[in-house]
Amino acid sequence: MRGVLCKGERLGLRDVTEADVAALHAVYGDPAATQHTPFRPRDLPEVSGLVRQAMEAACAEPRRLYLLAVVDAEHHDVIGVARLRIEAEHPHSAEIGFGLHPGQWGRGTGTDLVRLLLKFGFRQLGLHRIWGARSPANLPAQLAMLTAGMVEEGRIRHHVRTPHGWRDSIVHSALDDEWAERS
């Protein structure tokens, strides 16, 4: 297993460890941070289980799942979580997801995070297509993905079941050749 390390100006990405459980719970367990997710806020044992699963997935060959700690580059504090899942049937393509601690909102951190995920996926993993789906109501995620260079592709109706019922998803994507022209 090769560990993940991807650095940007303000943020870094690295594999999650058991030492990150409390910091990740501050995101996964926060009602505001999870308001647009298809799951209710997670408790500490659930977050610990997610971290264990991610550590197991990091040993798989080929590796398809990357659950990454989002780290402040200056202080090295965990401020969020990012996920990249390579599609088994289309190994050139991956889905991303991300969440930041609410204290990080409104600073352009989401845009920096999406840019860093694209850099990681295209440069380090050699992917051709990276996509993400968001809640139609999640306007900060829309802004982050569009500003980072992703294109809005369309709406998938009743895509995910949430604790509140069915929810549509808005899909955004980036292609390696288009991204390379912009970066």
The pLDDT tens digits along the chain (183 residues) read: 457 789 999 999 999 999 999 999 999 999 999 999 989 999 999 999 999 999 999 999 999 999 999 999 999 999 999 999 999 999 999 999 999 999 899 999 999 999 999 999 999 999 999 999 999 999 999 999 999 999 999 999 999 999 889 999 999 999 999 998 887
Candidates 96, 89, 95, 98; CA nearest to 62 is: 89
The tokens describing 24, both together, are 């990740």
H or E element at residue 174: strand 165-175
pTM over 0.85: yes
Domains of the chain: 5-181 (3.40.630.30)
